[in-house]
Each structure stands twice: as C-alpha cells, then as structure tokens.
Amino acid sequence: MSNYWKDSGLVKPLAERRRSRFWLFFPFLLLVALIGAYSAYWIYARAEIGLGVDKWVAEQRAAGAVVEYESREIGGYPFRFELDVTAPHYQPPNMASWEGERLQIVMQPWNWHHIIARAPGHSVLTDRLGIRHTFDLDRKSAGSLSWTDAGVHRAAIELNDASALIDGHIYTAKGFSLNLAPRPEAADDLLVALQWEALTLDASPVAAPWLGTDLQDSRLIAEVHNFYPAWVRSGGNPERLYDSLVEMGGGVELGQALLNWGPLKFGAKGTITIENGLANGSFGVRIDDPEGLKDALKATGNWTLQEQATVATLETASANGSFLMFTLKDNQVMVGTVVVGQLPGPAL
C-alpha cells in the first residue's frame, strides 16, 4: 500500500504553495495599482485645470472683460473632467454680454483636444445695442469643439429641445444640429451640415403667409470655398460675408438642401464659383407635393397668374425626381438663354 504522506506529487512544499497563491492574486493587485495611478493622474489633472481656469479669468479681467460667477467646482471622476459654474456672467470688452443659470464644460481624461459645453436653463444675451435676447435649453442640448495642433477640427451645436426670444420673436426647435469643419484638403474652406426635426415661428412671414409657422424635418449640406479669409475680411459680420466672398473670390457647393415648410416641399443643389467679382455656375430647384402647395396658395388668396405659372413650371421640371436648372453667367441668372435675374456685385 502506498505512503501518501511521502508522495511528493501529492504534498507540495509550503513555499511553492505560497508562490501559486501569489499568481492568483496578481491580477487583482495589478488592477488596484492601475486604479491608484489613474486616480493620482486625475487629481493632478484636475488641479492643473483649476489653475488654467484661474489664469484665464485673470487674463480676461486684466483685458477689461467682465467674468463673474457664484460658485465653481471640478468633478466628474472617473470618466471625465466637468467644470460646473453657477450663475456665470461674461462680457468681453465692447462686446455682447452673456448671463446664464449654469455652465458645464466637459472633457475626457484621455482626449485634451475636445470639449463639450452645456448651458441648461435660462440665459440672456445682451447685444452691443443693449437689446436682450433670451434662450432656454434642456439638459441634453450642448455645443462641442475639437481641435488639433493645426487648428479647429470641428465645431457643433446640438439642441434637443430649445426656445428663444430674438429681436422680439419667439422660436422653438427640436432636434436641431449644426456642424462646421474646415475641409481636410483645403483649410480655408468650410463644410456645413445643418438639420432640424422641427422649428416653430411665432408668426407666418408677411410676404408669404401661406407658409405658416411650422417647419418640418429639413437639412442643408454645403461647402463654402475660401470661407475663413472672407470671414476675417467681413469682421465676423454675417451680413458682410457675401460681399467679402465677391471681393476675395470663393464659391459654394450645395450638395443637398431640403426645406419642408408647411405646404412647401423644396429641394435644391448646385455649384457657384466667384472670381473677379463675378459668379458663374449652375443650380437646380424642385418641389414635391405640388397639389398641397396649390391648395395653400389658393386658401390664402395668393393664387395669381404669377404663382400659377411658377408652380406649373416647377411641377413639370420636378417630375421623375428632376430639377429646374438655372445657369449663372457673370452674375446673370438664366434659364436656358433667358435672363431671369441678376446677382449683386461687390458693395460700394
């Protein structure tokens, strides 16, 4: 009969058994060490962010800006850094002023080139003329900015549920998004993607009451060539942007435009190039559901011979998914060889 007590295959030395247990616990010990190291990094980075915010506030105030808030804290451990500011008020020198209930700026610990900003609740923008515009945003509405060493990579606004009072007019929006980015192949060009699920106005346009106040699902995809130099030349004034493009040269590629405004189901596409103050290119427009458009025009007393001819022309051209095509030749808008309009040249 075997002696089990002396069988080395059954009874291992105590030191060897301890070594075996160590490797059982090693993954757990490694995990604890990694968590500790990450926690130390997060605490250090939070302190650096706080110092950076203090420096920015001091520089802004030294330059004459108003920077005020009731409280400020940085949280978000472990998956993000979240700067939470209550009752913020910011006004650069000789610029518009913004006040809000709350400002949240979020950054991921592993990506220092992307921030997300939220301003839930009620905020007020007071322009340089002293006119107040108000905005109410839900907690899901946000803006984001990402960049590389070469500059801005993408800027975006996402409004889940928002309302605004601008110049005395009330607007509401659902599922609104605006994405802006420089074109990778040409940094001076701007890529634009705009869409919404619903927009509501407080009144119908005076010139087109048949449109109503509700805009349904719509989108715009376009490229603006030479946008950034023209934007700088315009002084950041959107009303001067077209004149700057005419003066400097540029163009627009309209990949897709779909506008659903009440009875109007409108689409457009085209390419326009501006050189030496002259625009050349082509673009097409189309409509869907012409019968609904006719009914709305008739119901509001806008069914004159001009409207009848316009709708009939668009209805015929839009058959089978086609477009009514226009040509731009040296600022002249033409259908075939017939001149139907003129684009403005550089402002004097």
**Residue 340 half-sphere exposure, CB side, CA atoms within 13 Å?**
11
Long-range (24+ apart) CB contacts under 8 A made by 238-247 are 242/344, 243/346, 243/347, 245/274, 246/274, 246/277, 246/279, 246/344, 246/345, 246/346, 246/347, 247/277, 247/346
Cα 324 from Cα 269, distance rounded (Å): 10
What pTM does this model have?
Answer: 0.84
CA-to-CA distance for 195 and 256, rounded, in angstroms? 11
Secondary structure of residue 6 in the 3-state scheme: helix
Mean pLDDT of 103-128: 95
Question: Which pLDDT tens digit goes with each residue over 62-81?
Answer: 999 999 999 999 999 999 99
- C-alpha 85/C-alpha 69 separation (Å) is 7
Contact in structure between 251 and 242 (CB atoms under 8 Å)? no
Task: Give dist(CA 230, CA 116) in Å, integer.
Answer: 27
The confidence score (pLDDT) of residue 8 equals 54
If you average pLDDT over residues 326-338, what whole number do you get?
93
Instruction: List % helix, strand, coil for the chain (3-state, nearest 5).
Output: 30, 45, 25
Q: What's the chain's average pLDDT?
A: 91
The number of residues in the chain equals: 348
pLDDT digits (tens, 9 = 90+) for 283-322: 999 999 999 999 999 999 999 999 999 999 999 999 988 9
Would strands 89-91 and 111-118 be described as parallel, antiparallel, or unpaired?
Answer: unpaired
Non-local (6+) Cβ contacts of 132 within 8 A are 124, 125, 126
Look at residue 31 in the predicted model and tell me its pLDDT.
Answer: 84
Cross-strand bridge partners of residue 266: 259, 287
State the pLDDT confidence band at 19, using cuts at 50, 70 and 90: low
8 Å CB contact between 346 and 246: yes
Q: What angle do CA 83, 87, 90 make, to 5 degrees?
A: 85
Q: How many CA atoms lie within 13 A of 246 on its CB side?
A: 16
| pLDDT tier at 24, thresholds 50, 70, 90 | confident
Q: Quick one: pLDDT at residue 348?
A: 40
Q: Note if the bond before 209 is cis, omega within 30 degrees.
A: no
List CB contacts of 64: < 8 A, sequence separation 6 or more: 93
